[in-house]
Structures are given as structure tokens and as C-alpha cells.
């Protein structure tokens, strides 16, 4: 059996969020997370990106290339009483048994880090780590990960003693016991991920993996270039210095500015506190991306199950 490892690149899936015109006041302008920016002649801003921070943001957002195999002898991944690899792939939604055999024969399948090209290989679906074209394949059909567009006024908990609307109210039709990854305040909106995969959730929340998050933010006042540089350099907060990875001023009009910002910080209300510290209170905040997963055109209060490619890029981002 030839077990030489093959590298390959992967593309980020999905498109980003379209910006919308900032609100004229501190009130809310609806639950839509995107839309065309206002056509009135607002002053446009620029891009500000940090050095190492921008690099870490790119690494966190992009699907990761599998590492090249070492020169050590290949390991035999065959499990005598296991299930044929092509059957496992077919059951995972990779196509028919015949199509799965072609994937193997064409050198597109790895099992536990080993390239497999022979059709007689059997694996244990409960323990095998399988990649196809460099993307991790979820073999456990009981595990699911979904994207949710959290509306304004909904709290990021499964139960609220104050009786406020919760994330649980939006997924009552799901049979799985899901828990959310990260939080959004009640007065913020946008992308949340929910899953019943405990290992995936733990890694997405762990600072080690520096999963970048992207936000559309409307703030009071005109944001000058020095403010962008200050946010990149670091802002002193009561719980330590916080830095943004990228700041892009999209539009400035009528005393308000709309920006796209990227950061991997996960502290409570971090975006709002950073802008407050530089003198620009936030009037609207929408999260549009978590790592490689975009909010896209998902409507407020709706969910969608991550597809195989999206889930694979997300798992690769946290080295699963």
C-alpha cells in the first residue's frame, strides 16, 4: 500500500457580508445584518492592519494546509474487522460507493495522516480521522454544527431567569442538544455557531487557536486614521490591553462612521469597550464571520446547517 502523504491547498468558503449605511442615531436600524451601503456622499475611510496581528488573523480565517509528511516509514491504517473505506466515505455523503472508490484510487483520501490508494483498506469509523482533498470529514452523523443569525434583544443563553428571549427559543425545532460557541450581547446581532460536538466547541473557544471574528460596527463621531492605528497598537482596558487585527473604515456620514473590524479577542463586550476607550461609542454591532464561516445572507432569527466543506474548513482551522 502506498502511504506517501500528499499536500494541497483549500479555499475559504462563502462570501463576506455586505455593509449597510450606519444609523443616524443611537437607535437600532433593524435586524438585517447586511445591505447596500448608502449612496449619499459620505466620506470614505481606509484600511488599517497590524503586523503580526494581521498575520494571525489571516491564519485563523484561512483553511489550513495539511503539514507535509515526515520521512518516517508509513503506518498501516488497515483495521482487519473494520468497514471498507469506500463504504465509510459513501455513508458520510461523499457520493456513491463507486464515486468513493475513485476518490481513493485518485489519491485524494487520507486516513490518520496516511495517503490511501488501495480499495481493500478497512477502517474503524469511530476512531479514524479521514481527510478528502485536505478537508476533514465528519463521520459521526449524530454531530451537527449550525450557523445562527442572532437578532437584537435575544440573549446568548439557553435559559434566562429574567424571561428574555434566548438562543434556545430559536432552535426549538432541533432535536439535538446544541450549545453555542461564544457569545453576543443582547444589543448585538449576527453570527453565532451552535454544535453538539464538544471537542470542536472547546477548540473554537480556546485562545490557542486564535479564531478571528469579523464585525460591522457603527460608531458615533468621525474616525480618523490615528484612531485606527491606536486600535491596532492596543487599547488599555480595565482587564488589560486589547488589540484589533484589522480596521477598515467603510463610510463616514452625518456624525457617524461605519467600520469593519477583525479581532481574535474573546473578552466580554470587547469591541464596544475598545471603541468606548477611544471616544467612539458603538451604536450598532453585527458579527459577520467566525474564522472561515461567513454569516452571508442568513436572515435574522434563522439557522443553517454547515455543509461538508464549511465544516471541514472550520475543523481544519482548529487542527481537528
Burial class (CB in 10 A: 0-12, 13-18, 19+), 95: middle
Strand partners of residue 246: 49, 262
Give CA separation, 66 vs 74, 87, 157, 319, in Å. Answer: 16, 24, 35, 9
Q: What are phi and psi of 314, to 5 degrees?
A: -65, -45
Burial class (CB in 10 A: 0-12, 13-18, 19+), 72: exposed
Burial class (CB in 10 A: 0-12, 13-18, 19+), 307: exposed
C-alpha cell at 136: 476533514
Catalytic-residue membership of 185: yes
3-class secondary structure, 111:
strand
**Do residues 67 and 272 touch, judged by C-beta distance below 8 A?**
no
Neighbours of 305 (CB within 10 A): 11
Residue with cell 459577520: 288
Concatenated DSSP letters for 46-92? Answer: -EEE-SHHHHHHHHHHSPPPPPPP-SSPPPP---TTSEEHHHHHHHT
CA atoms within 13 A on the CB side of 26: 6
Q: Strand ranges (DSSP E) for the chain?
A: 47-49, 83-84, 109-111, 114-115, 122-123, 130-132, 135-136, 145-150, 179-181, 189-195, 213-220, 235-237, 240-242, 246-253, 256-263, 282-290, 293-294, 303-305
- Give me the catalytic one of 124, 133, 185, 187: 185
Q: Catalytic residue numbers?
A: 185
Amino acid at each position: 500500500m502506498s502511504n506517501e502523504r500528499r499536500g494541497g491547498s483549500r479555499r475559504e468558503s462563502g462570501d463576506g457580508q455586505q455593509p449597510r449605511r450606519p444609523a443616524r442615531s443611537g437607535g437600532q436600524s433593524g435586524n438585517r445584518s447586511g445591505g447596500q451601503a448608502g449612496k449619499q456622499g459620505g466620506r470614505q475611510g481606509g484600511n488599517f492592519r497590524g503586523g503580526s496581528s494581521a498575520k494571525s488573523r489571516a491564519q485563523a480565517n484561512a483553511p489550513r494546509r495539511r503539514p507535509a509528511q515526515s520521512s518516517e516509514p508509513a503506518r498501516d491504517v488497515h483495521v482487519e474487522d473494520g468497514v471498507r473505506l469506500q463504504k465509510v466515505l459513501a455513508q458520510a455523503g461523499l457520493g456513491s460507493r463507486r464515486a468513493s472508490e475513485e476518490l481513493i484510487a485518485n489519491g485524494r483520501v487520507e486516513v490518520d495522516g496516511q495517503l490511501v490508494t488501495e480499495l481493500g483498506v478497512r477502517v474503524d469509523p469511530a476512531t479514524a480521522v479521514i481527510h478528502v482533498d485536505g478537508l476533514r470529514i465528519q463521520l459521526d452523523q449524530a454531530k451537527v454544527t449550525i450557523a445562527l443569525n442572532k437578532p437584537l434583544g435575544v440573549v446568548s443563553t439557553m435559559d434566562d431567569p429574567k424571561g428574555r428571549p434566548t438562543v434556545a427559543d430559536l432552535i426549538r425545532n432541533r432535536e439535538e442538544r446544541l450549545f453555542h460557541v461564544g457569545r453576543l450581547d443582547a444589543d448585538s446581532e449576527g453570527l453565532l455557531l451552535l454544535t453538539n460536538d464538544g471537542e470542536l466547541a472547546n477548540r473554537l473557544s480556546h485562545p490557542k487557536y486564535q479564531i478571528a471574528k469579523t464585525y460591522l460596527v457603527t460608531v458615533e463621531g468621525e474616525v480618523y486614521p490615528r484612531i485606527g492605528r491606536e486600535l491596532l497598537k492596543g487599547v488599555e482596558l480595565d482587564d488589560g490591553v486589547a488589540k484589533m487585527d484589522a480596521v477598515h473604515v467603510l463610510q463616514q456620514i452625518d456624525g457617524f462612521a461605519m467600520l469593519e473590524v477583525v479581532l481574535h479577542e474573546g473578552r466580554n463586550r470587547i469591541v464596544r469597550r475598545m471603541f468606548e476607550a477611544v471616544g467612539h461609542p458603538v451604536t450598532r454591532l453585527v458579527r459577520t464571520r467566525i474564522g472561515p464561516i461567513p454569516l452571508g445572507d442568513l436572515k435574522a432569527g434563522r439557522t443553517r446547517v454547515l455543509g461538508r466543506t464549511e465544516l471541514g474548513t472550520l475543523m481544519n482551522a482548529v487542527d481537528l
